[in-house]
Structure formats: structure tokens, C-alpha cells
Amino acid sequence: MSTHNSFHLIPATPIPIQALRLSFAALLVVMVFISYSTAYAENPPPKGSKVLFMPFSVNVPGSYAYLENGLSSVLSSRLATRAKIQPIAGKSTGKQLATFLEGGQYNAFGKLLAKTDADYLIFGSLDRQDSLFTLTSYVFQKSPGRGPVKFEEPLASINQAMDAVDNMSWKISGQIFGHPQPTKAKESPAADGVAAFHTAHPDRTYREGLLHSTMAGLGIGGRFELVSSHRSGRIHEDVKDINAVDIDGDGVTEILLLTDSQLQLYRFEKNTFHTIGNIPLDNHLRLHSVTFADMDNNGIQELYISGNSGNRPSSAIITWQEKKAKVIQRNIPYYLRAVSQPGQPPILYGQVGTPTLPSNGAIYELQRDSQGAFTRVKKIVLPKGVQVYDFTVADITGDKSKETILITPGNRLQVLNEAGSVMWTSSEQFGAGRNFFGTLSSNEERSITVPTYIKSRLVITDLDDDGINDVLVGRNQAEHVRFMPRLRYFDGGTIMALTWKTNMLTPLLETQKRPDYIINYQVMGAAKQLQGQQDFFLVFSEAETSYPFAFWQTNSATINGYRLRLKVDSDNQQQPADG
């Protein structure tokens, strides 16, 4: 049955005078819909990928509501003919999906989408800004590791809507389904080394001439070089966090992979990531992070697992000894984050919940006694909206005072002095993450328009061996769907190290852009050090799912490792700072 018969709604009664005021363009649209509906019914396309079309959001003043289903219907017809797709019938299903997505009902959205057996989901919008219009569509794909693709067509008036849909359909047909418009493509000059870094959403050409080389893995390098890179096999889990520490005191660093139901333990040995054990966790929790500290100074690291139970914070403390896990305490009513920095005593931070929101509670420095009771040592004063995972405290200027380094709610990197005054704020975005406070149901129940997202980790370490701390931070590229403020996704990311210079944090190194979402990262010491060389191992995890809600959840990730070397020679050797 054709998906377009709904457009044969020709009234049998006399037409009201108001209806005669429809523009010629509107009548032309209806005629095109009817002709394509008939053609599609008589010549159904071969069966191919199943594609579900949601109504377009029409944000244009005037009587253009008919375009909501009209635009998606014509796009469906074009793609059925050109790309040989199989449109999934059901205008009501598309409308119901749109209602769920706009209302933040992600569980209901995901269940209904799964029932459709669709391979692709397409929706979009028609928007007006000043005198110009823009037709936008997003193609979401079920295939693992493939995020949504955005297409845009500018148009000067509504009269050009059909031309815009036609152009867009050819672009989607070629780029997504491998059936390009049958015209001879113009030849383009071969890309040089720098142009090869450009993407659909490029950062500006690597900053200030710091582009190091086109070697895979490293963009900005400076005095660093990539020695080797390693990648695990696919891990079929929804990974929430990654960290690295020697958890049992045997001198070997373990890699901790926090999933939605367990803590997996890995080691990197003989150039391979292999598992050494796992610790089951309460599967009713939405987990946020795993951090570590040896608070009781017994040589064994405690692992702090932080998350939500519904709308409330709920954390646990676990140790690993003799290849066995021991739960020290669970159901702790704080979001816990332990901070361990070289040469400094460890600190435990805790954030309480609020009566109405899963985030935005007060943050304290905590102490825990032998009976498991927590004492609030002091309240941490931070800018509004900064959560317990979004900051750290360290001397990054080398002046013996401690600065607060944080990621703002708008994903800007910021440095405050000891008095709390702003010393510097980045112009670019850092730290965007897909994990969030609260569970899907608790966010839906409280009608939270945009959830509070958890930032990626701020790592303090001296990478260039000059005696002054550097800052390692992630740069996932968050993309927003402007007509659906609850929905965002990620178009790859990088990891950057910055150092304080001329009263600002400046790039020290940056990885090349990764295609997948970067979950988190940590710096490990390299297993072997050669004389005159300083190596370190950057370990991070990537997820194939590039959006935080609904759609198709691939639930898979990988562990990655870069062995990086600080190049030191007799002519250009950094000397440690005094003291």
C-alpha cells in the first residue's frame, strides 16, 4: 500500500473562500504530491533498506502546516525511486515518534522505533531566518558506529520547497545509500597533508602553525611523537567511564572499564588489552564514574563508583585484593569523586541531591571514618551549574598557589585563582559528555527539558616534564538539533593537553579527530623507559553510539592506547622549574 494516499484528501463539498487564498506554490505542492503518490502506487520500488520518515517541523509563520507531512512524503517518494529504499508505511507512527522525542519520552520512543524494524530514521525542519529559509534533514542509521548525518538546503522562498527537497533527496541518495545523481562529477585537486584533516565540522586549521604531522593519531604534536597505537576488540557493553590505576599494589596498572552493570578489569600487556576480572554492580543504577584513592594509606586503592538510583545519588566503595572484590560500602547518598595527584594527599568530594533535580546539589570535601560515616570537611564554592565531576584543583601556573580548573555548563574551560576570580576562559568548547544525571524515567517524570550532562575528566599531569602541571581534557564535538532542544549527538572528538603560558592555557598536544564518541581517558606510565626518552601511555575508550538517548543502542565500545614520547635532546632540553 502506498504511503502517500493520505494526500488524496479532495473535499466533496464547496471550497470555502478562505481556501482559495492558498498560494500558487501551495497548490503546486499538492499536485506534485498527488502525481508522486500515483506513480509510486503503480511502480513500487524494489525492496531495500527500510526507512521511517517522521513529519518535518515547520517553523514558518503562515498556513504551512500541510508541509509537515508533505515534505517528508515527497522526500520518501524521491528516495524510493532513486535510492531503492523501502519506506515504512504509517504516518501515525512517525507522528507518535515525533511526539515522544519532543516530549523527552525516550523509553517509549526507543521501544516504538524498535517495533518498526527500520534501518534508518529521517526527520527534519523548515525554518525561516529574516527573509531566508532553510530546509534541514537528519538521517539516523542503525548501523553500528555510524552517527546521524545532517543535510541542509537554502531557499529564498517557499516556492522553492520542491526544488530543495529534490536536491536534498539526491544528496541523501548518494551519500547514504550509494545512488548518486547520474551526472559527471567535476574533478577536484588532490588534498594535501593539511586539507586531509578537514571534516564535515572542522575545527579551524590546527592552531597557530602547531600542526605536527599527518601521522595517524596525533594532530598537534610539538615536542611529542606517537610511537605506537593500540586498539582492543569490540566490547559489547554500554561503557560509562574508564580509568587506570594499580588497584592491588603489585606494581602493574589496571584499566577500569565501568559499564551499566559491572566494573571490568583489563591489563595492557604484550601490546594487547586483555581482561583479568570483573566486579558485578547493582544494575538498577545509572552509573557515572569510577575514581580511586588510597584514603587509609594501606597501599590498596579504594574504587569509588558513583551514580544515580532513580533521582537520588547512590555510590559505592570497593577494593580488589587477591583477585577478589570486597564491597566496603554501598548506597552512599552522595555522588562521590576521589582525586589523586602526584605528591598531594588524596581528596574525596561528594555532591548531594536536591528535592526536585538529580543534579545541582551542594558539593563538599568529605572524610570517612572507620564506621563508614561521612563528615563534611568544608563546602566547595563553585560557579552556578558546576557539578562534582566538572572541576579539579591544582597548581598549573607554577606559582605555588592552587588554581581551580573547571568546565562551565556551556562547556568552556575556565581557570579560577584561589580567591575565586576568573583568570582565563576558553573560546572553544571542551568536556562535552553524553552521560547525564538521573535515569531516563526520573528525567521524564520531572519533565526536565534538557538534562544535566556529565563532563569528561580533567586530568592533571606533567606531560612535558618541566615541573609544572598540565591539563588533559576531552573535546567531543556536540551537535544540537535546533528544533528539538532535548536531542543532541556527537560528531567525533579529540583529546588535548594544555599548559599555562602567557596567562592562558595553550595547546601542548592534541590527538587527531576520532570518528567515535570519546567516553573518557587517563594517563599511564609507560612500561619501559629508555635513557634520554620520556614516554607515557594515553588510554581512552570510544563508544560507537554517538547520541545519549533513544534511537538504536549499539552498546559497544573499544579501549584505545597511544604510546607518546616526549622528544628530549641535548640542544633543546627542558629543565625542571625551581623547587
Contact 142, 177 (CB under 8 A): no
Task: Output the pLDDT for position 448.
Answer: 66
> What CA–CA distance (Å, rounded) separates 566 from 574?
10
- Cell numbers at residue 27, please? 497548490
Task: Output the pLDDT for position 370.
Answer: 86
The band of 9, judged by pLDDT with boundaries at 50, 70 and 90, is very low
> What CA–CA distance (Å, rounded) separates 497 from 336?
25
- Cell numbers at residue 561, please? 592506547
pLDDT tens per residue, range 513-530: 998 899 999 999 765 555
pTM comes to 0.81
Contact 165, 155 (CB under 8 A): no
Q: How many residues does the chain have?
A: 579
Who has greater pLDDT, 355 or 230? 230
Candidates 262, 272, 217; CA nearest to 241 is 262
Burial zone of 7 (CB within 10 Å; 0-12 exposed, 13-18 middle, 19+ buried): buried
pLDDT tens per residue, range 67-94: 998 999 999 999 999 999 999 877 789 9
The band of 281, judged by pLDDT with boundaries at 50, 70 and 90, is very high
Task: Output the pLDDT for position 526.
Answer: 64
Measured in degrees and rounded to the nearest 5, phi and psi for residue 261 equal -140, -5
Contact 247, 340 (CB under 8 A): no
Neighbours of 164 (CB within 10 A): 19
Report the DSSP pairing between strands 50-53 and 120-129.
Answer: parallel
Q: Is the pLDDT of residue 212 over 50?
A: no
The DSSP-derived string for 482-534 is TT-TT-EEEEEEEEEEEEEETTEEEEEEEEPPBSSEEEEEEEEE-S---TTEE
pLDDT tens per residue, range 90-130: 778 999 998 888 877 888 888 899 899 999 999 999 999 88
- Cell numbers at residue 109, please? 520512543
Task: Output the pLDDT for position 569.
Answer: 58
Q: Which residues of 343-354 are buried (b: 16+ CB within 10 A; e: fewer)?
A: eeebbbbbbbbe
Number of helices (H) and strands (E) in the chain: give both, helices first: 6, 31
